[in-house]
Amino acid sequence: MTHALPLLPIVEAAEIRAARASAAPIVALESTIITHGMPYPRNLETARAVEAEVRASGAVPATIAVIEGRIRIGLEPAALDQLAQARGVAKLSRADLAACLAQGGTGSTTVAATMICAARAGIAVFATGGIGGVHRGAEQSFDISADLQELAQTPVTVVAAGAKAILDLPKTLEVLETLGVPVIAVGQDAFPAFWSRDSGLRAPLRMDDPAMIARAHAMRAALGLPGGQLVANPIPGDAEIAAQTLAPLIAQAQAEAAAAGITSKAVTPFLLQRLFELTEGRTLEANIALVRNNARLAARIAAAFIAPA
Ligand code: PSU
Ligand code: MN
């Protein structure tokens, strides 16, 4: 006996339906940064501030998560509040999404899973902090974030402040090139390193005009190429932490993770938490500043999608 495909359990907030009806620009936002990237209550304040940035820049924010077996596109304030306070929430990437929906579970979506949900909802632009990438020591651990594969196959333009400096950035750029993902720096030639503006590596592409970024996305579709784009938007100068300051602390956090036997999905949250402690919260402040900055740029790109220049 064959089974008919189930209907995808996906629910849009009223605000998102209204935005779609009036052809207003929409920006997707992820939720793993809320549940696994920042401590409560700063995570909730930040999620709200990021939504406010999107609105102030003329677009509608769609924070995405899975709640009780349904993909939610746009979270009402109470739902966002609950997610931010919940403990032990599942971190959902491409591999976990269908199982969580089938089981009626709740989880936050990573960059990869948020891209999948955004694409199903017809949202082309997504703002986050930093994407996952190739971890240091990946030649041993094989730890490469599913975010990279997703950028290669799902047509969403992701605005991030580069990849987190806890990663192996040269290898991350190599894998993105292998996968055919356009990596576009904004306002500078260098590939940014999340908490710092300059990774010391040159980004393969540079575009300073949001409308050009929207056009490049559309041109990929016209070519029949699957996948999206990575827009690498450097952290604002007044919020950055010098790479030299972070380097020894990252090495220390990494050594601790290895000693504690942390692997797989737990690696990124562990490193972020340790750096928060080792910098007395400075990495969190920088993280908040860069996500807000990315939300503003994503709103401008989304607007250009609606009204091409
Ligand atoms: N950026 C942040 N904080 C985070 C993340 C990104 O500033 O917590 C999350 C994103 O959801 C990203 C995930 O997709 O970390 C990557 O996890 P992994 O390396 O396990 O794929
Ligand atoms: Mn990983």
Mean pLDDT within 2-10: 87
Rg (CA), the chain: 18
Considering 12, 53, 164, 265, which one is annotated as catalytic?
Answer: 164
Task: Provide the pLDDT for residue 4.
Answer: 86
| 190-193 and 196-202 beta bridge pairing | antiparallel
pLDDT for residue 309 is more than 70: no
Q: Is 12 a catalytic residue?
A: no
Partners of 9 in the β-ladder: none
**For residue range 33-57, what is the model confidence (pLDDT) as tens digits?**
999 999 999 999 999 999 999 999 9
Q: How far apart are CA 223 and CA 190, in angstroms?
A: 27
**Is residue 40 within 8 Å of 24, Cβ to Cβ?**
no
Unique residue bearing structure tokens 């990596």: 183
pLDDT for residue 156 is more than 80: yes
State whether the beta carbon of 57 lies less than 6 angstroms from ligand 1: no
Task: Provide the pLDDT for residue 98.
Answer: 97
Domain 10-306 bears CATH identifier 3.40.1790.10: yes
CA of 264 to the centre of ligand 2 (A): 5
Indicate the range of 68-72, 79-83, 303-307 predicted with least confidence.
Answer: 303-307
What mean pLDDT is reported for the chain?
Answer: 95
Mean pLDDT within 185-204: 97
Report DSSP state, residue 49: H
**For residue range 220-274, what is the model confidence (pLDDT) as tens digits?**
999 999 999 999 999 999 999 999 999 999 999 999 999 999 988 899 899 999 9
Task: Provide the pLDDT for residue 287.
Answer: 95
Side chain identity at residue 265, one-letter code: K
Partners of 66 in the β-ladder: 71, 107
Report DSSP state, residue 34: I
| 125-127 and 157-160 beta bridge pairing | parallel
Task: Provide the pLDDT for residue 154.
Answer: 98
State whether the beta carbon of 73 lies less than 6 angstroms from ligand 1: no
Mean pLDDT within 95-102: 98
Report DSSP state, residue 189: S
User: 192: which 2 tokens?
Assistant: 């940014």
Share of the chain above pLDDT 70, in %: 99
Cβ neighbours for 76, distance < 8 A, ≥ 6 positions apart: 13
Side chain identity at residue 294, one-letter code: N
Confidence of residue 2 (pLDDT cuts 50, 70, 90): low
Measuring CA to CA, which residue among 200, 132, 112, 232 is closest to residue 172?
132
pTM value?
0.96
What sign does the dihedral 160-13-56-157 (CA atoms) show? Answer: positive
**For residue range 167-178, what is the model confidence (pLDDT) as tens digits?**
999 999 999 999
Measuring CA to CA, which residue among 296, 272, 197, 281 is closest to residue 239?
197
CA of 26 to the centre of ligand 2 (A): 29
Residues recorded for the chain = 309
**The Cα angle at residue 218 between residues 217 and 224, in degrees rounded to 5:** 100
Confidence of residue 3 (pLDDT cuts 50, 70, 90): confident
What sign does the dihedral 292-30-158-12 (CA atoms) show? Answer: negative
First-last CA distance in the chain: 52
Partners of 109 in the β-ladder: 92
Ligand approaching nearest to the C-alpha of 95: 1
